[in-house]
Structure 1
Amino acid sequence: MKSKMYMAALSCGLILALILSFYPLPYYITKPGMAQELSPIIEVESGYEEKGSLMLTTVRMGKATPLAYALAHIQDFQEIYSVEDIRQEGESDADYTYRQLHMMETSKESAILVAYRHAGKEVVFKNHGVYVMSIIPGMPAEEILKVGDRVYKVDGKEMETSEEFVAYVTNKKVGDAVNIEFERDGEHQQAAITIAPFPKMKGKAGLGITLLTDREIVVEPDIKIDTEKIGGPSAGLMFSLEIYNQLTREDITKGYEIAGTGTIDDEGHVGRIGGISQKVVAAANSGAEIFLAPNEEGVKGSNYHEALAAAKKIDTKMKIVPVDTFDEAVQYLKTLKP
């Protein structure tokens, strides 16, 4: 009898443990990731070597379970987000991953552009149409297009950029139909899609898609960047610094371990990112001596101020440096003593 009761209690305990550990909740949890050296990821043909290292920082994110959800409330540097906070309306996990990977591609292109131009190298762009990044539920495009489709013609007109596409469709009226030619999994297709009003944007109409230009960047010397499955735009600043350092004779690392984060645009402006506190922890845990953080022109609550607070909380000696532009970051690093 006791043996049966023991087995029943054990079974219940195992079931409860499985539920606590694996049952998915409608939340995501983020925590500090790692700082990853960029020189093995980025290779400029015949590029210069560096004595120190430039590192990107990451945040780990996963679906919440009851146990993980409870622990996140009591552990430092773990954040809880609802599904709506992470994914756009109507976006699946696969669509979200696709969007993050393409944001990384755009970030890499801007980083290459900024670094090569500052190194005095020529940059040439080739556009190949636009990618569908997301689709608004209930809009006409939902029934025809999918995230990842490459649109290259509208009403027989070639579309090289997302701006061209938006400008053309904006001139259409509700009820007008446009003929879309697109590519999906290597197969060319076409379909007519009707212009309709946006459900939450009064006076606005369209097809119901957001787009990203399919842009190819051509540079000399050649460059290879292997980011595997790293997504998002937040490594843009560090990408640009690593590329620039391989292009120029002077080593801006000066032998230091330098981590950082921040988006980069084509003009070299450094932008705000999410999870800055967790990235500070990741950098400190990896032995970084300097951390570059988006300054946001000194506004209250900027990434820089968040990074300072996180560094103080973990009592690290790592120096937190505010930057607003690529130029500022380079000039600061050039002032360091070897």
Structure 2
Amino acid sequence: MKKRIRILNVLLVVGITLILLYFIPLHYYVTKPGLAEPLRPYVKVDGAKKDKGEFMLTTVAMGKANIYSYIATKVNDNYHLYKIDEIKVKGESDEDYQFRQLRYMEESKQAAILNAYKQAHKTYKVTENGIVVVSVIHDMPAFHVLKLGDVITKINGKEIRTLTDFTNTVQASKPGTNFNLEVNREGKIENFNIKTKTFKDEPNRAGIGVSIAGNLELTTNPKVKINSEEIGGPSAGLMFALEIYDQLKDEHLAKGHEIAGTGTLDIDGVVGPIGGISQKIIAASNAGAEIFFAPNENGKKNSNYNEAVKSAKKHKLKMKIVPINTYSDAITYLEKLKTKK
């Protein structure tokens, strides 16, 4: 009887230990294949008709590592391990990181709408309203001055409307250059003086230590609404733009095919690289995608496209991987695509 009690006590201790290990976070993040979902429920263009086929949004699932997910990265190459400073800016809280990702998503949606309406020759109007602060680097001059969500509208009295206006003004400066910033903070205009400083990891470059995003206001005809909910990051830009364009046009752009993809998109239609593409193509394949658009980065050796092709071969995926440099590349490919029987 005593022996049985001792065994039960040991099992109880082991069980409690295993449970506690699950809840003890490590200083890493783990990513794995996420979901591939149809975009039509997220995008609504007034008057759009139902299409044949689908454009799909792909995601990567990410969470703080515990001992079990850490071990999973050692035995399953679909799980990837990242140090915290590879994911978050130094000194950035979880809430700040989420704010940055959601702001990048907002910027991505704006670029998607702009490209789609331009391509479809539909009416749109763009108003540029300065730039938004989405993160502030620890130990840099802006850290104790600017806040997330601040909108910088002027520097030294000169209007700042776009990201280029800001970078051309600040990045060309020498360390110790003083800038007077006019900032819209929650509807109130404030002014701050900030001196530039060299970056710790880039001693030949000076700045104030902020990450920024565009702050466009778009009005369109017909109206469009994108409900991205809690999806963050800029990587859905290309696919959002294709879904919007598809709803703007009478013909079926997907032509009955299941088409997934990824890639950032700027207001000029350039498609940029993203992280986790080897995991995204697995998510897309699992969801039944036949075609996957991957950023080609103008043929760079280690491009997203080349990584996707390599991963697709390794996992014996049947999807066709298509290299994309610009939004127009994707439209041209789809216009030539044969309708699925």
TM-score (ref. length: structure 1): 0.90
Give me the whole-angstrom Cα distance separating, in 2, the residues matched to 1:207 and 1:89. Answer: 15
Indicate if the aligned counterparts of 2:155 and 2:180 stay in contact, CA closer than 8 A.
yes
Give me the whole-angstrom Cα distance separating, in 1, the residues matched to 2:140 and 2:311. Answer: 43
Aligned runs of 1:137-216 on 2, under 5 Å?
Answer: 137-155=138-156, 158-169=159-170, 177-186=178-187, 188-202=189-203, 204-216=205-217
Give per-residue Cα distances to partners, 1:128-180, cap 9 Å, x unaligned.
Answer: 22211222222222122122222334455543334334444567765565443
Give me the whole-angstrom Cα distance separating, in 1, the residues matched to 2:29 and 2:41. Answer: 30
Compared with structure 1, are the counterparts of its residues 194 and 313 closer, same or farther at alpha carbon in structure 2 (3 Å cutoff)? closer
Aligned runs of 1:8-19 on 2, under 5 Å?
Answer: 8-19=9-20
Q: Which residue of 1 aligns with 2:277?
A: 276
Q: Which residue of 2 aligns with 1:98?
A: 99
1:205 positional shift: 3.7
Give me the whole-angstrom Cα distance separating, in 2, the residues matched to 1:294 and 1:155. Answer: 38
Aligned runs of 1:234-273 on 2, under 5 Å?
Answer: 234-273=235-274
2:54 maps to amino acid: S
- Give the secondary-structure state (helix, strand or coil) at the position aligned to 1:317: coil
When structure 1 is superposed on structure 2, of 4-13 and 92-101 the one drifting more is 4-13
The percentage of aligned residue pairs carrying the same residue is 46
- Give the secondary-structure state (helix, strand or coil) at the position aligned to 1:146: coil
Q: Which residue of 2 aligns with 1:108?
A: 109
1:56 maps to amino acid: L
Indicate if the aligned counterparts of 2:28 and 2:81 stay in contact, CA closer than 8 A.
yes
Compared with structure 1, are the counterparts of its residues 164 and 326 closer, same or farther at alpha carbon in structure 2 (3 Å cutoff)? closer
Compared with structure 1, are the counterparts of its residues 153 and 71 closer, same or farther at alpha carbon in structure 2 (3 Å cutoff)? same
Give me the whole-angstrom Cα distance separating, in 2, the residues matched to 1:260 and 1:89. Answer: 31
Q: Does 1:89 align with 2:90?
A: yes
Aligned runs of 1:51-90 on 2, under 5 Å?
Answer: 51-90=52-91
- Give the secondary-structure state (helix, strand or coil) at the position aligned to 1:316: coil
Q: Which residue of 1 aligns with 2:290?
A: 289
Q: Which runs of 5+ in 2 are unaligned?
A: none
Q: Which residue of 1 aligns with 2:319?
A: 318
Aligned runs of 1:224-239 on 2, under 5 Å?
Answer: 224-239=225-240
Q: Which residue of 2 aligns with 1:218?
A: 219
Indicate if the aligned counterparts of 1:48 and 1:245 stay in contact, CA closer than 8 A.
no
- Give the secondary-structure state (helix, strand or coil) at the position aligned to 2:203: coil
When structure 1 is superposed on structure 2, of 240-249 and 162-171 the one drifting more is 162-171
Give me the whole-angstrom Cα distance separating, in 2, the residues matched to 1:244 and 1:60. Answer: 28
1:19 positional shift: 3.0
Indicate if the aligned counterparts of 2:107 and 2:215 stay in contact, CA closer than 8 A.
no
Q: RMSD of the TM alignment (CA)?
A: 2.4
1:185 positional shift: 4.6
1:80 maps to amino acid: L
When structure 1 is superposed on structure 2, of 288-297 and 231-240 the one drifting more is 288-297
- Give the secondary-structure state (helix, strand or coil) at the position aligned to 1:288: coil
Compared with structure 1, are the counterparts of its residues 108 and 8 closer, same or farther at alpha carbon in structure 2 (3 Å cutoff)? same
Q: Which residue of 2 aligns with 1:336?
A: 338
Q: Which runs of 5+ in 1 are unaligned?
A: none
Give me the whole-angstrom Cα distance separating, in 2, the residues matched to 1:267 and 1:155. Answer: 28
Indicate if the aligned counterparts of 2:256 and 2:339 stay in contact, CA closer than 8 A.
no
1:69 positional shift: 0.4
1:312 maps to amino acid: K
